[in-house]
Amino acid sequence: MTKETVSSNPINKEATITNHEELHNGLGSEEVRINNHMARTNTRWQNQNHSSNRNHDFYPGQLYGTESGKLFHAGKIMIVLVGLPATSKTLLAHSLERYCKWLGVVSRVFNLADYRRKFKDVPKEYFFGGETSTKAIEVRKQIRKVSINDMKKFFQEENGQLAIFDAMNTQKMERRCIQENFQCLNVNVLFVESIMTDKDLTERNIKLVMETIKEGNDEFDKKIRYSLLNKMLTSKPSYEEIEDSEKLSYVKFNNFGKQIVVKNNHQGYLLNKLVFFLMNLRSGKGRIFFCSSNSIHQEDISNCLKSIYNRVIEQIKKEDIVRRNFSPSLQEDDRPNSPILTIWCEHKFQLEEDSDIELINKSQLRRMNLGAIEGLSEEEIEKQYPKEYKESFEDLYHYRYPRAESYHDLAIRLEGLLLELEHQQSDLLIFADESVLRILYGYFMSSSCIEVPLLNFGKGEIVELSLKTFSKEIKKL
């Protein structure tokens, strides 16, 4: 490594390695500084082409920044979803967007239904498969054209790296058009075909849509259910599954990850990372409850946790009763072999035997290492480490006190646990230090680096997060 000059100025430009040097020495190359503010180089945390290089342009799991704004040497990527209605395409789209934003990839979902809602005088035939009328065909072409132009603009003018096209795309002609439109722009296109042969999964997807609409009467639920099933039936005759002869890069995502087939994916690290993410993804996620273990003495943790999980179970039972009364067509929980509640916690201790509860000790949930400031109050930190205390406010997320972890270090450590959360299907209570909860909760809420350190979990407060197909629902108990 080239020898750098070190001066008394903590933001010494001469101490910054160049992009070329960083690439030569690897992503672990660090800027030489006399203080401890951020172990990452300026070149990795600034983007010269962006209109702003402020900290909120970076996301919690982002490892580095580049002048182009593109990460992982992956260039531009487009993920095109393929499949009939009620095959979890929208759920897939928003899950991929959430994970990519966490990594720092500039991502956006383009949902064709959103574009259709902006069009006036859409004929009824538009909602049925096949080419039922000239007007329906024309409207369909116009809507697709507008969405495709917006995606081109996203790549060419807005520095976008990953576009996710959420539409049926069930015909070979449509897929060929997309491939030709974006291949000439040097965009790597990956098709993800969601196929549902499991009737229970299809029924669950319909339930999720019905819950999201929340009209509140059984007659309306029946109409929604009939509408979705009718659209599936009318779309099926014109549906052409992806074939090798189309010469596309594609993933067949069968029954929401029960079987995955990958073909012609030779497009680098990021796409392989996304395929791995898909392998861990599961539908029908339960509710996630967050509760802080801060300010609880070790000897009181067992009794405290028992009180907390009893409150959570009571809430789950209440919500399930309301849910079924609200919409009688929704039956009992379709995960009969799952416990009522799974608990993740760092501490090892025994609870009373209860077949409805599964307690899992997760060593990964250990709190952020505070290093030299361990056990000190804020006033003591300011007195003993005045310089570091002042510098920490420049970047609460990435700043490290001596011999300590930063929130960013913690986020990287917890990435494997995030994939496990995506795999989780039963209702889950996470009982952990507030620093850990900030990272996990921030992931699902797509929080920025500025927002994560400021998230607050009050003593004894339980935060409930429900992930819907089209939205998130937050409650405080």
Q: Give pLDDT tens digits for 461-471.
A: 999 998 876 67
pLDDT classification of 268: cutoffs 50, 70, 90? confident
State the pLDDT at residue 147.
96
Average pLDDT over residues 320-325: 65
Report how far residue 294's alpha carbon sits from residue 296's, in angstroms, rounded to the nearest whole number: 6
Residue 360 has pLDDT above 50, yes or no: yes
Average pLDDT over residues 178-186: 93
Percentage of residues of the chain with pLDDT beyond 90: 41
Same domain, 177 and 323: no
pLDDT classification of 37: cutoffs 50, 70, 90? very low
166 is catalytic: yes
Same domain, 52 and 107: no
Provide the strand spans (E) within 71-174. 76-82, 107-111, 162-166
Same domain, 226 and 169: yes
253 contacts 193 by C-beta, under 8 angstroms: yes
Q: Of these residues, 57, 166, 221, 395, which one is catalytic?
A: 166
Same domain, 333 and 449: yes
Average pLDDT over residues 287-301: 82
Same domain, 257 and 117: yes
Same domain, 299 and 418: yes
Same domain, 223 and 176: yes
Assess if residue 178 is contained within a domain: yes
Percentage of residues of the chain with pLDDT beyond 70: 76
Report how far residue 387's alpha carbon sits from residue 393's, in angstroms, rounded to the nearest whole number: 11
92 contacts 194 by C-beta, under 8 angstroms: yes
Average pLDDT over the chain reads: 79
Least confident stretch, 148-162, 323-337, 348-362, 431-445: 323-337
Residue 39 has pLDDT above 70, yes or no: no
Largest CA distance in the chain: 76
pLDDT digits (tens, 9 = 90+) for 395-424: 999 999 999 999 999 999 999 999 899 888
Same domain, 85 and 225: yes
Assess if residue 98 is contained within a domain: yes
Residue span of the structural domain in which 174 resides = 76-280
Write out the two tokens for 477: 């108990």
Count of Cβ atoms closer than 10 Å to residue 133 Cβ = 14
430's enclosing H/E stretch is strand 428-432
Most confidently modeled of 50-64, 121-135, 327-341, 360-374?
360-374
State the pLDDT at residue 92.
92
pLDDT classification of 241: cutoffs 50, 70, 90? very high
| Residue 459's CATH number | 3.40.50.1240
Give how many domains the chain has, as a whole number: 3
Same domain, 112 and 203: yes
Same domain, 172 and 203: yes
88 burial (CB, 10 Å; 0-12 / 13-18 / 19+) is: buried
Asked which of 257, 280, 303 is the last residue of a domain, the reply is 280
Least confident stretch, 102-106, 159-163, 168-172, 300-304: 300-304
Write out the two tokens for 193: 């075909």
Residues contacting 347, CB < 8 A, separation 6+: 293, 298, 301, 361
Same domain, 173 and 305: no
Indicate the pTM of the whole model: 0.80
49-83 b/e (C-beta count within 10 Å ≥ 16 → b): eeeeeeeebbbbbbebbbeebbbbebebbbbbbbb
